[in-house]
Amino acid sequence: AQSVTQPDIHITVSEGASLELRCNYSYGATPYLFWYVQSPGQGLQLLLKYFSGDTLVQGIKGFEAEFKRSQSSFNLRKPSVHWSDAAEYFCAVGNTGTASKLTFGTGTRLQVTL
Amino acid sequence: GAVVSQHPSRVICKSGTSVKIECRSLDFQATTMFWYRQFPKQSLMLMATSNEGSKATYEQGVEKDKFLINHASLTLSTLTVTSAHPEDSSFYICSARSHTYEQYFGPGTRLTVT
C-alpha cells in the first residue's frame, strides 16, 4: 500500500528565508508525486508534480521539488518565502498508470513571520 | 487552468435530513471525480471514486448507502449525505481528474449538522 509521511507538522520561517518541507513516500514502483497547498477553508491547489524525467521539478509560485528515489523523498523548496505562502502544504502520492488514487500526507502548516 | 466548483460552499442542516453537494468541472470533461473528507487540521481522506455513467467505488469503511454519489455527466458529480448526523459534520472536497491524470480540487463544502 502506498503511504506518505510529512515529518514536520508545523514550521515557522521568517519572510525572505529559504524553505524546505519534507516528504517521504512508500510505493512499490515509480510513483506519481504531488505537492498541494491549502489556504484556510479552501480547496487544494496543485503546486507541482512529478511523473517521470527530470527529478527536479519546477512549480508555481517559485516552488520546486526534487525526487530522490534512493531516499524515497520528494522535498519541497523555495529560496525566499513570502508572507502569502503561509498555508497548509500536502504531499501526495498517486498510483502509477492513472494516478487515480491519491494518498495524502498529514500536512505541514507553514507560518511566516515578518 | 482547470477549474472545479462546488456548491454550496457552506451548509447547515438538521439531524436526520439529507444534503446534496455538487461538484462541477467548469472547463474540462472529467470521466473520474473523487470525493474526500477532511476533519479539522487533518489530511484528506478519500471517500469514493466517481466514474461517469457507472457506480461509484467506495473506500473501505465508507457507507455507500449514507454517502450517495451520482456522476451523471462528464462535468457533474453529486454527493448526497443521507440522514445526516452531527458526526457527519466535516469539510467535503471533490476533485476532477483531467486527461493528463492531474486532479483539480474544488474549494470544498463545509457541512454542519445540528
Cell of A68: 530522490
A104 to chain B nearest CA, in Å?
A: 6
pLDDT at A99 over 60: no
Mean pLDDT of chain B: 92
pLDDT band, residue A50 (cuts 50/70/90): very high
Q: What is the pLDDT of residue B51?
A: 86
Contacting residues of A for B4, CB less than 8 Å apart: 43
Contacting residues of B for A42, CB less than 8 Å apart: 107-108
If interface means Cβ-Cβ distance under 8 Å, which residues of chain A face chain B? 32, 36, 41-46, 49, 51, 90, 94, 98-107
Bond before B8 cis per omega within 30 degrees: yes
Q: What is the pLDDT of residue A75?
A: 98
Q: What is the pLDDT of residue A98?
A: 57
pLDDT band, residue A97 (cuts 50/70/90): low
Is A104 in Cβ contact with B44 (below 8 Å)?
Answer: yes
pLDDT band, residue B95 (cuts 50/70/90): very high
Across A44-58, average pLDDT: 92
pLDDT at B109 over 90: yes
Is A102 in Cβ contact with B105 (below 8 Å)?
Answer: no
A80 to chain B nearest CA, in Å?
A: 25
pLDDT at B41 over 60: yes
Could you tell me what percent of chain B has a pLDDT over 70? 99
B20 to chain A nearest CA, in Å?
A: 18
Q: What is the pLDDT of residue A53?
A: 87
Contacting residues of B for A98, CB less than 8 Å apart: 97, 101
> CB distance from B34 to chain A under 8 Å?
yes
For residue A79, the one-letter residue type is P
- DSSP state letters, A37-105: EE-TT--EEEEEEE-SS-SEEE-GGG-EEEEEGGGTEEEEEESS--GGG-EEEEEEEE-TTT--SEEE-
For residue A97, the one-letter residue type is G
pLDDT band, residue A96 (cuts 50/70/90): low
pLDDT digits (tens, 9 = 90+) for A57-87: 999 999 999 999 999 999 999 999 999 999 9
Could you tell me what percent of chain A has a pLDDT over 70? 96
pLDDT at B35 over 70: yes
B61 to chain A nearest CA, in Å?
A: 16
What residues 89-108 of chain B have any CB closer than 8 A to a CB of chain A?
91, 93, 95, 97, 101-108
| Contacts of residue B18, Cβ cutoff 8 Å, sequence gap at least 6 | B80, B81, B82, B83, B84
pLDDT at A28 over 80: no
Across B5-21, average pLDDT: 97
Q: What is the pLDDT of residue A101?
A: 80
